[in-house]
Structure 1
Amino acid sequence: MEYRIREPFTKEKLEPLRAGDTVFLTGTIYTARDAAHKRLIEMIENQEPLPFEVKDAVIYYVGPTPEKPGNPIGAAGPTTSYRMDAYAPTLLDLGETAMIGKGQRSQEVKDAAIRNGAVYFAAIGGAGALMAQKVKSAEIVAFEDLGPEAVRRLQVEDFPVTVVLDSAGGDLYQEGRAAYLESRK
């Protein structure tokens, strides 16, 4: 199936999505990689306010390249998601509804996604310039000292992603592999 979803990215809007669906997101998403995630978790542990509202947030695992004149962002391809696996369950438990990255996730992340009605999207690896074309504005909101890994608020339009983990426990990597192996018999 194909879906076009506008913010707010609530659990109710994401619930019908299933592993393998194509989704085009329009609205606000946030960027954060491992160094930023570590700081966010430290802030939570220290009961400090976070730099953005986590409830209904979508976090894109990306460290974009510097923008060229006239563009809000440079190439913005996804980074490998497992680096955020130690931090993701905490953010999901606080209401984060979706993550965007590439690669498989741990069982703990899968369990947290199911428990919280969240999804994990894959973005197209190696297509950072294409992804950047879907970013209409970018603003650093935290951890500027991290450079490309600073937390940014992005406004995106028709940002293309694929559902990898759905809120019902579907896993495209497992299902796709199983379907491939079955087709080889």
Structure 2
Amino acid sequence: MPVERTDGEIRISAPLAANDIAQLKAGEHVRFYGTIYTARDAAHRRMLAAIEKGEPLPVDLDGQIIYYVGPTPARPGRVIGSAGPTTAMRMDPFTPKLLELGLKMIIGKGGRGPVVRQALQEHK
């Protein structure tokens, strides 16, 4: 089940559907399980260019989650460096099209512009 509530914990795993998202309320703490795709503005730019050319994306975004992450290089002996959220508004030019393709959840920091807020309402 994509959204599961057990023992006071909310667990989320993709792919998600609109009715899964409707169960969630702002401010709830959730735990993510499974695959979450990461992408920043350069990756979004490449995805939009591929879409405009009619090329397939490397992954099917329908029901998926994207984390706007700014990773740092791994320290010696580590697999990954720290990975914190990056400013979501930088992805605003690309987000409506990705939502249209079925993207269901976005993790980032900061606000979103009116075009993205409208697209989020249209593509629940």
TM-score range, shorter chain: 0.7 to 0.9
Question: Cα–Cα, structure 1 residues 2 and 105, in superposed 2: closer, same or farther, change >3 Å?
Answer: farther
User: Does 1:99 find its partner at 2:96?
Assistant: no
Q: 1:59 aligns with which of 60, 66, 70?
A: 66
- The residue number in structure 1 matching 2:37 is 30
Q: Is the 8 A contact 2:15 2:62 kept in 1?
A: no
How far, CA to CA, are the matches of 1:11 and 1:70 in structure 2? 41
What SS does the corresponding residue of 2:30 show, helix, strand or coil? strand
2:14, 2:65 within 8 Å by CA — same for their partners in 1? Answer: no
Aligned to 2:4: none
Bigger strand share = 1
Per-residue CA deviations over 1:53-103 (Å, capped at 9, x if unaligned) read: 111111111131122355442100000110001110110010000111000
3-state DSSP class of the match of 1:28?
coil
Tell me, which stretches of 5 or more residues in structure 2 are unaligned?
1-7
Is this contact kept in 2: 1:61–1:78, CA < 8 A? yes
Distance 1:84 1:92 in 2: 12
Which of 15, 18, 23 matches 1:11? 18
Counterpart of 1:116 in structure 2 is 123
TM superposition score normalised by structure 1: 0.59
Give the 4+ runs in structure 1 shifted more than 6 A. Answer: none
Pair 1:41 & 2:55 matched: no
Matched, 1:83 2:90: yes
| Aligned-partner Cα distance in 2 for 1:14–1:111 | 16
Higher relative contact order (CA 8 A, sep 6+): 1
Greater shift in the superposed pair: 45-54 or 1-10 = 1-10
What residue ranges of structure 1 are gaps of 5+ in the alignment?
118-185
Contact 2:69 2:85 in 1 (8 A): yes
- Secondary structure of the residue aligned to 1:36 is helix
TM-score after normalising by structure 2: 0.86
Answer yes or no: is the 8 Å Cα contact 1:60–1:78 preserved in 2.
yes
Letter in 1 for 2:16: F
Whether the 8 Å CA contact 1:2–1:21 is kept in 2: the answer is no
